Amino acid sequence: MRPLLARVAAVVLALLSACGGHESQQPPPLQTGWNAVDGMLCADGSPTGVGVSFGTRNRVLVVLSGGGACWSQTDCKPNTPRSFGATEFALASNFTANTILDRTLAGNPFSDWTFVFVPYCTGDVHAGGDVTRTYGGVSWRHHGRANLDAAISRIAAAVPSPEKVVIAGSSAGGFGALFAFDLARSRWPAGASGPKAYLVDDSGQTFVGSDLPQSLRDAWWTAWNLDATVTPLCAGCRTDLSQLWDVLHVAHPADRLALLSSTQDATMIGFFSPIAATAFQAAVGNLAAKLRTVPNAASFVVSGSAHALLLQPGAFAAGGATLTSWLAQAVNDDPSWTSAGP
């Protein structure tokens, strides 16, 4: 799981470091490239921040990085990132081609948007309630939620009145995008002068009820102190993580909420272990069926074991549409936008 999720982070970072800025649009609080942000800390206690690449339209794509997760000595791998700063941002430089953050990608609906990259170095799918745990003698500060709060506050101060905002992420970042969406809406409120907002949860499958074992949810809640972060937003999520989609629909009925998944995502099967591929596929089907009952939500599901579809959106198709065209329908408010795939 970890090498591929590390590539997700590298892909995002590489584009941001490679793209030029548009100084005429640059708000004072942020600059092109790496920006340290007060209040953002990694698992080892080191400071972190956000990466920025300014576009030519007043629209913002916020991307939350993936990179593994850490909640026990068994599940906390040595290569799960514990720090992220300017050096890591500069090093990840050559992995942008054909991703959703490739401004030259044919049909990319975000090609002229401003990109903001939020790194992931807390091991808690961007949701931790600022608690320190020790796994195998290594100390981890799970500070993910506070990092999101600081990052989104800084972004909103820099771009206070965008036309549209997308909160997206892959894998751990997909879960994080779900948890961050309501927070983002609090900084960019809906209304006559507020932006339209969209969620893209890529490969962060919040399965329905016991499709995700209660023991696993309990372990996450305990390790990451999710009672301080997720429970206040979604009181029923500890027993049914998919309830978060209902909560977001009720709070933000005019926004669009999207899930991307494959039927047998090999990386997430490992993450949710022990779970059989057939059981995982059934759980994806149950989640997709649930989203068909949520009026402003839709899923894009492809057959196979792929993970992190935003790495190659032009390579995936469902229901006769490529992922790039399906995402374009979503953010262009096409009334025909609906779930696609098995």
Over the range 100-131, which residues count as b (16 or more CB within 10 Å of their CB) and which as e? bbbbebeebbbbebbbbbbbbbbbbbbbbbbb
Q: How far is CA 303 from CA 152, 191, 312, in A?
A: 34, 38, 15
Q: Which residues pair with 133 in a beta bridge?
A: 140
> What average pLDDT does range 220-225 have in this prediction?
97
pLDDT of residue 98: 85
Which helix (DSSP H) or strand (DSSP E) does residue 116 occupy? strand 114-118
Distance between CA 182 and CA 205 in Å, rounded?
A: 18
Over the range 195-207, which residues count as b (16 or more CB within 10 Å of their CB) and which as e? bbbbbbbbbbbbb
pTM of the model: 0.92
> What average pLDDT does range 30-51 have in this prediction?
95
pLDDT of residue 237: 97
pLDDT at 3 over 80: no
pLDDT at 239 over 90: yes
pLDDT of residue 18: 43
pLDDT at 188 over 60: yes
pLDDT at 16 over 50: no
> What average pLDDT does range 190-201 have in this prediction?
90
Banded pLDDT at 101 (limits 50, 70, 90): confident
First-last CA distance in the chain? 24
> What average pLDDT does range 246-273 have in this prediction?
96
Q: What's the DSSP call for residue 44? A: T
pLDDT at 210 over 90: yes
pLDDT at 112 over 80: yes
Three-class SS of residue 209? Answer: helix
Q: What's the chain's average pLDDT?
A: 90
Lowest-pLDDT choice from 78-82, 199-203, 234-238, 270-274: 78-82
pLDDT at 24 over 80: no
> What average pLDDT does range 77-94 have in this prediction?
82
Distance between CA 195 and CA 166 in Å, rounded?
A: 10
pLDDT of residue 26: 42
Distance between CA 98 and CA 106 in Å, rounded?
A: 9
Q: Longest C-alpha distance within the chain, in Å?
A: 53
pLDDT at 148 over 90: yes
Place of tokens 């329905």: 208
pLDDT at 1 over 50: no
> What average pLDDT does range 268-294 have in this prediction?
96
Distance between CA 284 and CA 261 in Å, rounded?
A: 8
Banded pLDDT at 184 (limits 50, 70, 90): very high
Distance between CA 83 and CA 43 in Å, rounded?
A: 6
Banded pLDDT at 92 (limits 50, 70, 90): low
Q: How far is CA 174 from CA 5, 119, 234, 334, 336, in A?
A: 11, 13, 17, 23, 24
> What average pLDDT does range 176-195 have in this prediction?
92
Cis link prior to 274 (omega < 30° from 0)?
yes
> Which tokens sit at 126?
């961007």
> Which tokens sit at 245?
């989609």
Distance between CA 287 and CA 341 in Å, rounded?
A: 13
Distance between CA 323 and CA 90 in Å, rounded?
A: 29
Banded pLDDT at 94 (limits 50, 70, 90): low
pLDDT of residue 277: 96
> Which tokens sit at 22?
């548009």
Selection from 153, 163, 154, 158 nearest residue 186 by Cα: 153
> Which tokens sit at 254?
């005019």
> What average pLDDT does range 86-102 have in this prediction?
80
> What average pLDDT does range 147-172 have in this prediction?
96
